[in-house]
Every structure is written in C-alpha cells, then in structure tokens.
Amino acid sequence: MNTIHVAIVQAAPIPLAIGDGIEKAVRLARGAVEGGAQLVAFGETFLGGYPLWLDEAPGAALWDHPGTKALHRIMLEQAVVANDERLLPLQELCDATGAVISIGAHERVRSSLYNNQMTFRPGLPVLDHRKLVPTHGERLIWMRGDGSTLGVHQAEWGKVGSLICWEHWMPLARAAMHNLGESVHVACWPTVREEYALASRHYAMEGRCFVLAAGLVQKRDDLFDGLERAGGDAAAKELIEAIEGEALNRGGSMIIAPNARVLAQAGDDEETLFAELDLAEIGRGLASLDTDGHYSRPDVFELRVNTAEKSSVFWGAQEHD
C-alpha cells in the first residue's frame, strides 16, 4: 500500500463531561472515516478538554483554591479508566471500518490522573501513551507516565505512534520513537501555535515520517457548558468566570510531509482536515537522512529505554535466600 488517506478532526471538546465528549468524538470520527480516512487524529485531551484554567484563571495554582479542587474532583469522577465501557463505540467503529483513531483523554489510574493519547485499532486492545512530563502548571493535575507506554501500532500500511505536546522537545523521547520506525506520527497539542508547528515540522524532517499535528478549538463558554453537563459546581464556575477572553484554543492543525513541507493546514475554527500521504516519500527521504541509521553514531552515542511499568508498591510473597 503506497498511499493512505488521513484526517485530523479539529473540533471543540466537551470539557469535563467525558461521556458526552465520547459521543461527539464517535460522530466526528465516523464522518472522517466516511470521507475516506484510514487514520483519524484528535488533539490533546479531546475527551475531557484541555484544563485551560491552569493558564488562564488568576489564582488557579494557589494552595487550597476551592475552584481548582472542585474541578479536580470532577475530572477524577469523569475520567476514563482501563476497560472503560464508554469507549466501546470508538473501538467498534475501528473494528467495523478498519480505521485507526488517535484521541487524547484524561485517564484515571487509582487516584491519579494521566494525560493519555489513546490509539484505537481494529481487532486489538487500545494502545496507550501517557505523557512523560506534564508541562509546568499541568503538574497540578497529571501524573508522569513511564516507558511502558512508549510504543507504536503496526498497521497494514506502516507504523503509527504519538507524542503529546512538549514531549516533542524531549530529544531522547524523539530518538526512541524514531527507532520504532514510524511511518505516521500523531503530534497532539492544545493549539498548534507557531512554535508548536515548528516542532512538528522538525519531527517530520528528523524522523523522516509524516506528522499529523492535531489541535483543539476551545472557548470559555465550552467550559461552562461542560461544567453544567458534569453536574455543576459553584466554586468551579467562579474560577472559570475569572478567565478573560473567549477563544482559548485556536486550532492551527496541520499535516506535514517527511521533508517538513505542509500538505494541509486548518484555520482557527472547527473543521476536519484531510490529506493523501504517499508513503514512498519516506524511503526517498531516507537516502539523505536516517537519524536512527546511517546518520547516527552508535559508537559515540547510546540510548537505553526502560519500558518497565513503574509502581511504588509491590504485592506478593517475600523471597528468601
């Protein structure tokens, strides 16, 4: 298979109310697949919405802030979990059509939240990628992921993987993903602003792969709507009311070729972006640059990736000598 059709769904999430967000995601993904897409990408934390109050609401990071605590409670209650039955419609869509869907979500593991970019693939379990380092204020919400969720899906046409937002400025994370041999990489962002577009285009050039840089469209009113759908909370509403401005995530999604040229670019409103990818372009580009092969120096540089799942508690019988 030399060509594939892909799509980025640049849309407004339904913040906080993840069940409603899944219904919207299924509808939009189905539309993209019906439009011919074999791979569909959504932006960072589309299910649950990006936590805009961390950057936009004055005082959100203050100790014991009642609005921040209220929103955290709601996020924990709403977050997806392992084997979440609410996600079955996304899996069923993949199974029925053969498409692959990459979508971000707030995930709960025990009492912690993770930023997870999930890859749904036909006939297989969901492939998780949990953000390795939450950026700046995000550490108030998300736990750090580990190497157990660095991986790719092997589709019939090639390999697809993903990184989240500022992971694209982690050189060793990029090197690890390049070693896995991605044909298509999903770079998920809240907004694909100028520097994020540069990082995405650099990834495509460095990794000799196609990149789907997927952003969100999110407005302050979306937060009020999602909060009401999730049951409402006076303290949370007061914090959101402190946010100035209306348009907070502004799209900018783009589909990028292995030589860093932009094949398709979205504006700042909701739309589904399509492109046809000529996979033979990857091999042609590798003639001059293969950062994991002939342009590497394994005698000088070495990277070790720990793929073990990390836990602070181990249950079992104590071993004795």
Strand 112-120 and strand 152-155: the pairing is unpaired
Give me the residues paired with residue 47 across strands.
Answer: 105
d(CA 270, CA 28): 11
| Count of Cβ atoms closer than 10 Å to residue 287 Cβ | 9
d(CA 107, CA 163): 16
Q: One of 94, 107, 131, 188 is an active-site residue; which one?
A: 131
Q: One of 94, 107, 138, 165 is an active-site residue; which one?
A: 165
Q: Tell me if 206 sits within 8 A of 291, measured CB to CB.
A: yes
Q: Which amino acid is at 243?
A: I
* Residue 69 appears among annotated catalytic residues: no
Could you say which DSSP state residue 122 is in? T
Residue with tokens 């909370």: 233
**Residues with Cβ within 8 Å of residue 191, at least 6 apart in sequence:** 215, 216, 249, 250, 251, 252
* Residue 44 appears among annotated catalytic residues: yes
Q: Is the dihedral of CA 308, 312, 316, 321 positive or negative?
A: positive
Strand 112-120 and strand 254-256: the pairing is unpaired
**Cα end-to-end distance, the chain, whole Å:** 56
Strand 158-164 and strand 152-155: the pairing is antiparallel
3-state secondary structure (DSSP) of residue 252: coil
d(CA 139, CA 122): 33
* Residue 131 appears among annotated catalytic residues: yes
Q: Which amino acid is at 310?
A: K
Active site (catalytic) residues: 44, 131, 165
